[in-house]
Structures are given as structure tokens and as C-alpha cells.
């Protein structure tokens, strides 16, 4: 269940934007900080074939901690894409 985005505070004055239920694809290094939602870590090879390496729900209500978690887990697994589903991101 998605959190009410009005309850999430963003440090530094960034805007919190709900992405919606469809997946949004980002490179691992360009993934935005997510305050809520689910993620799928994917390795896409040069021919375009994708392999899912891991998935989960962001563990914290702090967007910067979630971003660190996603990037660390993605790098550990060898992912180069992040698919955010039902996420609220900081812009």
C-alpha cells in the first residue's frame, strides 16, 4: 500500500512526485531517491536481453537512505537498471 505523500517530508525543499502503478525504468546511477514503493533490479546486456536480479520494497521513509540501499544492492548484484513501481520520488 502506498503511503500518503503528504505525510512524507523532504529535506532540502525537493518536490515529492508519485510515479503511479506502471514501472518507470532508470539506470542504476540515474535512479531518483524514492520515499516509498517497490523496485526491481535488472541487468540488461548489450543485445537488450534483461535478467531480473532482485526486487524489494524501499526499507525507509527517508528517500536518501532508500537511494543508497537500491544503489548498493544493485551494484552488489551487478544491475544496471532500476525499475520503480508505485514509487514516490524526490525531484
User: Which tens digit of pLDDT belongs to each residue from 28-81?
Assistant: 999 999 888 889 999 999 999 999 999 999 998 888 999 999 999 999 999 999
Which residue carries 536481453 as its cell?
A: 49
Q: Measured between alpha carbons, how far is 43 from 32 in angstroms, rounded to an integer? A: 18
Q: Measured between alpha carbons, how far is 66 from 40 in angstroms, rounded to an integer? A: 13
**pLDDT greater than 70 at residue 3:** no
Comparison of pLDDT for 23 and 31, the residue scoring more? 31
- Sequence ranges of the domains in the chain: 17-90
Residue 8 confidence class, pLDDT cut points 50, 70, 90: very low
DSSP per residue over 57-90, as a string?
E---S-HHHHHHHHHHHHHHHT--EEEEEEEEEE
Residue 19 confidence class, pLDDT cut points 50, 70, 90: low
Report the DSSP beta bridge partners of residue 51.
43
Amino acid at each position: 500500500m502506498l503511503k500518503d505523500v503528504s505525510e512524507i517530508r523532504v529535506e532540502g525543499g525537493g518536490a515529492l512526485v508519485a510515479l503511479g502503478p506502471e514501472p518507470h525504468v532508470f539506470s542504476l546511477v540515474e535512479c531518483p531517491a524514492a520515499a516509498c514503493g517497490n523496485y526491481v533490479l535488472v541487468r540488461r546486456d548489450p543485445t537488450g536481453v534483461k535478467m531480473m536480479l532482485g526486487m524489494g520494497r524501499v526499507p525507509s521513509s527517508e528517500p536518501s537512505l532508500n537511494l543508497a540501499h537500491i544503489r548498493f544492492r544493485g551494484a552488489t548484484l551487478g544491475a544496471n537498471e532500476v525499475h520503480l513501481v508505485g514509487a514516490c520520488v524526490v525531484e
